[in-house]
Amino acid sequence: MVDQTEPPRRVSTVARGSNRGRLVEVLRRQGPLPRVELARNTGLSFPAVSGLTSRLIAEEMLCETETAATAWSDDPDEEDADGPNGRRRGRPAVLLTLNPEFGRIVAISVRMNLIETLIADFRGSGVAQSRLALSTRALDAGALRDLVIAQINALLDATATPRHRLLGIGIALQGIVNVDTGTTLWSPALSITEVDLATPIRQAFGVEVVMANDAVAVALALTSAEPALAQGLSATIMVGHGIGMGVVADGEARWGAGSEIGHVKLAPDGPQCRCGQRGCIEAYLADYALYRDARTFLDLPPADSQQPSEGQMALLRERALGGDPRLEQLFLQAGRALAEAVAATISVLRPHHVILAGPGLMAFDMMRHAYEERLEQSVLPWLLRSTAIHLRPSESTVIVEGMVRRTLRVVDQNHMEATE
C-alpha cells in the first residue's frame, strides 16, 4: 500500500539560533526572497533584516539577483495600494539569494565497488561529478584515504576551485558509521573495520568533514526535493545494494548514523546475510540477495564481489517479467520482507511519512501483492492509517545530492557560530 491519504502534519518552523542563521536557513529552504519576505519568514524587523543582509552582502555570503516579476518594493512603509489602471505603486523588489561563489562543498559516496564524488556551490547546485568503479573490498585504510583525497583534488582542479573556497566535505557510506568520531565501524563495501576517514581528510584540506550513513543522505535529498515530505517525522527506507533507513524530523536529519532496519531478523535460520548473520530483512530484499538466490536455479553471470551491477539487476527483472515462477516467488518473498521493514518502522517510530526509495524499488510491481497483504497483517489498522507511505524509486546519485545538503547544514551552523 503506497501513497495513502496524507495524515495531519506538523508545521515546520525555522530553527532557533542566531539571527544570521535564521536568515540563511530561510534562503536555503525557500530560495531567493525580497527583504520584506525575509522579515516575515524570520520574524525579524525590517530594519534588522536590512542591516543583516547588508553585512552578509559585504561578506559575499549573499548577493542580489534579478527582480521578481510579481514582487514589489522592499520598503514596508511605501504605499502599495492599486494605482491607475489597476497597477500597484512602488518599485519591483530586489531579491536576495545565497551567493553560489561564496564557497564549495564536496560530497562523496563510498559503496560497493563505486566511489562517487560531487562538487557543489554554496546554494547546493552541482558543479561537476565523477564516478570511479573499483573493487572497494580490496582497499586497506591507507589506500581508501588516499583514493578519496585524490578524488577530491581531481574535482577541485577540474572546476578551478581555489582551496580556500572549499567549505566542507561530506562522506556517505553503506553500513554502520560513528558520526561523532568520523569512523566507519562496519561496511559491506569494505573488508576493513574501524576506519577513521574523517581525521586524515580534515587534516589534508583543513575543513569540516561530515560523516553519515548513505540512507540518511537519501532521506535528505528526497525531503529537500519534496518539502511536503519533510513535514513532521519522515522515515526513508532505501532498497538497493543493502537496506537502510534515514530519519528526518521537520527537515533535519536525525541519527546521522542511520538505522540498520535491514538487519532486523525475520527468521533465525533464514538465508545468509552479508553481515554474517542469517534471516535479516536484507537477506531477502537487497539486490545481492535476490541475485544470489536467482543464480541457484538460473544461468546468470557472476557478480563482482557478490554485488550485482545495475545491468545485472535489470537482466534479473527482465527474466522475472518473463513469467518464471521461481523468480516470481523470490520477488514475492522480497515484498513480504519490505512489508516487515515498513511495519517495524511504523510501529516503533509512528512517523508521518514512510518513503520507499532506491533502485531496488524498480521491481516493486513484482513485490506489490505480497507487500500489501503482509503489511495489512503486520500493523494495527489505526497505526497504518496514521502514516502516509510514498513510493520513490531513485538512482544512486541522490546519495551525494543528499550529502551536500547535510554538509551545508553543518557548514552554515559552524559559520554562524564563528561570526556571532
Instruction: DSSP for 364-405, please give it.
Output: HHHHHHHHHHHHHHHS-HHHHHTSEEEEE---TTHHHHHHHH
* Number of domains composing the chain: 3
Q: What is the mean pLDDT of the chain?
A: 88
- 46 and 33 housed in the same domain: yes
Last-in-domain residue among 98, 121, 137? 98
Q: Are residue 302 and residue 240 in the same domain, yes or no? A: yes
Flag the least confident range among 159-163, 254-258, 290-294, 297-301.
254-258
Looking at the structure, tell me whether residues 250 and 372 fall in a common domain.
yes
Residues whose CB is less than 8 angstroms from the CB of residue 343 and which lie 6 or more positions away in sequence, other chains included: 374, 375, 378, 379
The pTM score is: 0.86
373 and 409 both lie in a single domain: no
β partners of residue 390: 355
Residue 111 CA to residue 48 CA, distance in Å, equals 46
* Nine-digit cell string for 188: 559491506
Same structural domain, 112 and 94: no
pLDDT at 415 (0 to 100): 77
Count the alpha carbons within 13 Å of 213 in the hemisphere toward its beta carbon: 31
Residues 67 and 194 in one domain: no
pLDDT single digits (tens) 127-151: 999 999 999 999 999 999 999 999 9
pLDDT tens-digit readout, 343-398: 999 999 999 999 999 999 999 999 999 999 999 999 999 999 999 999 998 877 89
pLDDT value, residue 338 = 98
Are 71 and 212 part of one and the same domain?
A: no
Q: Greatest CA separation found in the chain?
A: 80
- What pLDDT band is residue 255 in, cutting at 50, 70 and 90? low
Q: Are residues 108 and 91 in the same domain?
A: no
Can you tell me whether residue 337 is helix, strand or coil? helix
Name the percent of the chain in helix, strand, coil, to the closest 5: 45, 25, 35
For the chain, percent of residues with pLDDT exceeding 70? 88
Q: Which three cell numbers stand for residue 387?
A: 502514516
Is the domain of 355 the same as that of 266? yes
What per-residue confidence (pLDDT) applies to 82? 46
**Same domain? 214 vs 236:** no
Q: Which residues of 197-223 are buried (b: 16+ CB within 10 A; e: fewer)?
A: bbebbeebbebbbbbbbbbbbbbbbbb
Cβ atoms of residues 243 and 285 within 8 Å: yes
Q: What pLDDT was estimated at residue 78?
A: 47
* Domain CATH code at residue 29: 1.10.10.10
Is residue 50 in a domain? yes
Range of the domain at 154: 102-219+398-419
What percent of the chain shows pLDDT beyond 90?
74
Of 72, 98, 124, the residue that ends a domain is 98
C-alpha distances out from residue 161 to 115, 134, 208, 219, 315, Å: 21, 26, 17, 28, 41
Q: What confidence score (pLDDT) does residue 161 get? A: 97
Write out pLDDT tens, residues 198-227. Answer: 999 999 999 999 999 999 999 999 999 999
CATH number (domain holding residue 317)? 3.30.420.40
